[in-house]
Amino acid sequence: MIKIITESKDRVSDEVIEYLLAKGVSFKRINSDIFSSFSETISKADYVNGEIIWHRRAFRRLNPSEIQKYPFIYNLLDEEDVVNKFIEKKNCFKNTIYYGGYVEESQHNKLYDLYLANKFGLKVPSTLITNVKSELKAFKQIHNKIITKPIKDLIRFRSENYIYSSPGTFLIEEKHFNLLEEHFAISIFQEYIEKDIEIRVFYFDGFFFSMAIFSQNDEKTKIDFRNYNFEKQNRFIPFKLDKVIKKKIKKFLKYKKINTCSIDLILTPENEFVFLEINPQGQFGWLSKNCNYFIEKFIAQKLIFDNERISK
């Protein structure tokens, strides 16, 4: 049986399912944003059965929506989190082929990823994590041009009429130092690395789908292509990753026990690859469309192949 854990509005999941329907393959879709009933018995009678699970997005919603308004909801969400992690770990232990997952996404640590990537031979930007102004000044004196960005996610909050969001990646200038006390909120800072192109990679079970992003042609996206210019899109083309860099990434992901994710890299004017980050449940639909990779079809075929193999 093929199971797909995703969100009701996830377009790439829809397209993968369209291929499954076209081939007449049975599957079960679990939308994480819709409540689903769940029961599990742990006993000596537990048996091993084969399943193919693609955990595309988020996690299973196990608390009824009515509970969301309760004052103690955060305690219940913590318990829901434990059950979701149990489901995934149990399925990975059984005779199950499991792509993606919730555990790595929920505890994803970009700082540790930088540390590990460096240990596996990938070049990473010199990075400072600090809450001390004097340390930051010393770091800037060494690297001259430095950037900051969220350690985890963008900060967003809603008022009555507006939605506010933090600016993403930006250069640190002298004016920013004037706004800081000697101690401030813990933050991340990195040396700014000149880019020839930015590279977005989608990885699935040993296969790489890579795209070059010509972000340097636009002042708005020059620091980071995710500072999108919606009026004038960057140019995207397919890109073939070097065998050496692919080998290093595979070792890194194998150590982390990740079999699918999105990866951000830089290619410098000196033709060096620099690792920036991975996103365990990162988007890939735009990469697939811009480069005509038909990743959705590839995933569907992989799920079908594995399902037939495990059913024999």
| Structural domain that includes position 47 | 2-106+300-311
Q: How far is CA 242 from the centre of its chain?
A: 22
Whether residues 134 and 96 fall in one domain: no
**CATH code for the domain of 133:** 3.30.1490
Indicate the DSSP class of residue 202. Answer: E
Indicate the DSSP class of residue 70. Answer: S
Whether residues 88 and 18 fall in one domain: yes
Give the pLDDT confidence score for residue 231 in this predicted structure: 65
Give the pLDDT confidence score for residue 311 in this predicted structure: 77
Whether residues 140 and 212 fall in one domain: no
DSSP bridge partners of 207: 204
Give the pLDDT confidence score for residue 306 in this predicted structure: 94
Structural domains counted in the chain = 3
Whether residues 24 and 54 fall in one domain: yes
Phi, psi of 127 (to 5 degrees): -125, 135
Whether residues 102 and 144 fall in one domain: no
Whether residues 46 and 24 fall in one domain: yes
Whether residues 71 and 93 fall in one domain: yes
Give the pLDDT confidence score for residue 169 in this predicted structure: 85
Give the pLDDT confidence score for residue 47 in this predicted structure: 56
Q: Quick check: helix, strand or coil at residue 144?
A: coil
Give the pLDDT confidence score for residue 230 in this predicted structure: 60
Give the pLDDT confidence score for residue 218 in this predicted structure: 62
Give the pLDDT confidence score for residue 164 in this predicted structure: 76
Whether residues 98 and 21 fall in one domain: yes
Q: Is residue 268 part of a domain?
A: yes
Whether residues 100 and 6 fall in one domain: yes
Q: How far is CA 41 from the centre of its chain?
A: 32
Q: Is residue 112 part of a domain?
A: no
Instruction: HSE, CB side, 13 Å, CA atoms: give it for residue 239.
Output: 23
- Write down the pTM of the prediction: 0.88
In contact, 240 and 210? CB cutoff 8 Å:
yes
Sheet bearing 197-204, strands edge to edge: 236-238, 207-213, 197-204, 260-267, 273-279
Q: Mean pLDDT for each consecutive 10-residue tract of the chain (312 residues)?
A: 93 97 95 87 68 91 82 84 89 82 90 96 97 96 93 77 78 89 94 93 97 76 61 82 96 95 95 95 94 98 93 74
Give the pLDDT confidence score for residue 232 in this predicted structure: 62
Q: Quick check: helix, strand or coil at residue 118?
A: helix
